[in-house]
């Protein structure tokens, strides 16, 4: 039911042409605020939020269904940053006051919150160097964050900072929720190859008090991992949608395009490739479901299942979009056909929250390989 309603809603309100419009008009937000309010009416903004705080509490399996459908239509929205990662961090790490303030605001689509973690070119949550130093009874934040998804449209920034220790150390991490307009914050929008929203954010002596901290200051790495794992599962589901949609469009083309007097889908060489891809997508579907079930049952123990899903998502989405471009022949190279848009989004999602190597490594270490 959730899948059907999501598919119907997105087909009407956010087909791939909506992304083209955002791209071609160089939209200042990079997403449609009416669509975001529509997602609120659908109950999606509160999908990981408990009912007491205005959410629909559908859990991670429900969240993944929505993400998969968004992958099919290349929907641009702050869903992953705000409704998945920020909502998870606040629900699990916030005190009563913080939950009452922020969770209903997310559910009501009144707050966009960007998670600022990485500082270099690759995803490296342990490598946080941005400093939070005590000055009087507050912290001063100094440093720079990169690839902050939805950073330039965020009302608040959930920033991971180091209160002690060296980059590479999981100890000494704190999470602060600061107003995006705080003095000392400089936000520079960066449009990625998929026309998506990223930002580079500088923090120069930005004030953060204890009341802005989520979880235990200096011991918030586990909480950060909870938020990242929810996001990784969500983006894996989105990549499942990208792969599935690319596959279905390709198969439809194989049935339609005639060469040498017959549909190219009748050539066995292409049938084998399509069958292989179908099998890979089904494997990915199982891994995404397993990751979301693990997150629903025991979020602190879900990291391995999440890494398995994100690894497979990176490999499968890459294969699916490459095969689409190849099998569409010369047309696959053109902007007229959406295959290139799916390829660009796949490329960005491959990097987002850890690429295949990052997650293969985490999986191997967790299994003591």
Considering only 50, 267, 355, 361, the residue that binds ligand FAD (CB under 6 A) is 267
As a whole number of angstroms, the distance between CA 284 and CA 263 comes to 29
Subset of residues 82 to 101 that bind ligand FAD, contact rule: CB under 6 A: none
3 state SS of 190? strand
Beta strands 156-162 and 113-116 are parallel
Q: How far separated are the first and last CA of the chain, in Å rounded?
A: 41
Question: Which among 297, 144, 310, 345 has a CA at the least distance from the CA of 228?
Answer: 310
CB of 32 to ligand FAD, least distance (A): 33
Stretch that binds ligand FAD, among 36-44, 99-107, 149-157, 263-271 (CB under 6 A): 263-271
* Nearest to ligand FAD of 167, 340 (CB atom): 340
Binding mask 115-154 for ligand FAD (x = CB under 6 A): ----------------------------------------
Region near ligand FAD per CB under 6 A, out of 175-183, 217-225, 287-295, 325-333 = 325-333
261 sits near ligand FAD (criterion: CB under 6 A): no
Is residue 264 involved in binding ligand FAD (CB under 6 A)?
Answer: yes
- Asked if 260 is part of the footprint of ligand FAD (rule: CB under 6 A), the reply reads yes
Min separation Cβ 210 and ligand FAD, Å? 58
DSSP character string of 20-55: HHHHHTT-SSSS-HHHHHHHHHTT-TTTTS-GGGT-
- Is the dihedral angle over the CA atoms 180, 52, 117, 14 positive or is it negative? negative
> What distance in Å separates the CA atoms of residue 107 and residue 289, rounded to the nearest whole number?
24
Distance, in Å, from the CA atom of 142 to the CA atom of 206, rounded to the nearest integer, reads 7
Would you count residue 271 as binding ligand FAD (CB under 6 A)? Answer: no
CA distance 133 to 201: 18
How remote is the C-alpha of 165 from its chain's centroid? Answer: 28
Alpha carbon distance 79, 68 (integer Å): 12
CB of 283 to ligand FAD, least distance (A): 24
**Secondary structure (DSSP) of 204-241:** EEEEE-GGGEEEEEEB-HHHHHHHHHHHHHHHHHHHHH
Q: Which stretch binds ligand FAD (CB under 6 A): 154-162, 219-227, 242-250, 254-262?
A: 254-262
Binding status of residue 269 toward ligand FAD by CB under 6 A: yes
Pick 183 or 330: Cβ nearer ligand FAD:
330
Provide CB contacts within 8 A for 44, sequence distance 6+: 6, 56, 66, 79, 83
Q: How far apart are CA 32 and CA 41, in angstroms?
A: 15
Task: Choose one: 203-211, 230-238, 261-269, 344-352; the region binding ligand FAD (CB under 6 A).
Answer: 261-269
Cβ proximity to ligand FAD, 136 vs 330, nearer residue? 330
Q: C-beta of 243: minimal distance to ligand FAD in Å?
A: 18
Binding of ligand FAD by 321 (CB under 6 A): no
Question: Contact letters (x/-) for ligand FAD, 329-358, by CB under 6 A?
Answer: xx--x-------------------------
Residues that bind ligand FAD (CB under 6 A): 257, 259-260, 264, 267, 269-270, 326-327, 329-330, 333
């Amino acid at each position: 039911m959730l899948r059907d309603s999501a598919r119907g809603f997105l087909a009407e309100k956010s087909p791939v042409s909506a992304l083209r419009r955002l791209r071609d008009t160089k939209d200042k937000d990079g997403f449609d605020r009416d669509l975001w309010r529509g997602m609120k009416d659908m109950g999606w903004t509160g999908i990981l939020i408990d009912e007491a705080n205005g959410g629909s509490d559908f859990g991670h399996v429900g969240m993944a269904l929505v993400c998969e459908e968004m992958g099919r239509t290349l929907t641009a929205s702050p869903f992953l940053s705000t409704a998945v990662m920020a909502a998870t961090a606040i629900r699990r790490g916030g005190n009563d006051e913080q939950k009452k303030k922020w969770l209903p605001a997310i559910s009501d689509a009144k707050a966009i919150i960007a998670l600022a973690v990485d500082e270099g070119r690759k995803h490296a949550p342990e490598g946080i160097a941005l400093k939070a130093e005590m000055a009087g009874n507050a912290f001063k934040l100094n440093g720079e964050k990169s690839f902050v998804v939805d950073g330039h449209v965020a009302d608040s920034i959930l920033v991971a900072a180091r209160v002690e220790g060296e980059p590479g150390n999981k100890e000494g991490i704190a999470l602060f929720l600061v107003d995006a307009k705080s003095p000392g914050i400089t936000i520079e929008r960066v449009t990625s190859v998929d026309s998506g929203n990223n930002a580079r954010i500088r923090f120069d002596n930005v004030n953060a008090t204890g009341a802005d901290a989520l979880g235990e200051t200096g011991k918030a790495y586990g909480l950060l991992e909870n938020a990242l794992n929810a996001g990784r599962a969500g983006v894996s589901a989105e990549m499942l949608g990208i792969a599935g949609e690319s596959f279905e469009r390709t198969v439809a083309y194989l049935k339609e395009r005639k060469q040498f007097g017959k549909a190219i889908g009748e050539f066995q060489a292409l049938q084998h490739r399509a069958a292989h891809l179908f099998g890979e997508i089904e494997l990915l579907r199982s891994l995404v479901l397993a990751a979301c079930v693990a997150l629903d049952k025991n979020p602190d123990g879900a990291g391995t299942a999440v890494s398995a899903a994100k690894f497979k998502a990176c490999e499968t989405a890459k294969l699916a979009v490459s095969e689409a471009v190849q099998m569409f022949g010369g047309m696959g190279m053109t902007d007229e056909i959406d295959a290139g848009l799916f390829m660009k989004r796949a490329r960005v999602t491959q990097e987002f929250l850890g690429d295949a190597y990052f997650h293969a490594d985490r999986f191997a270490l967790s299994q003591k390989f």
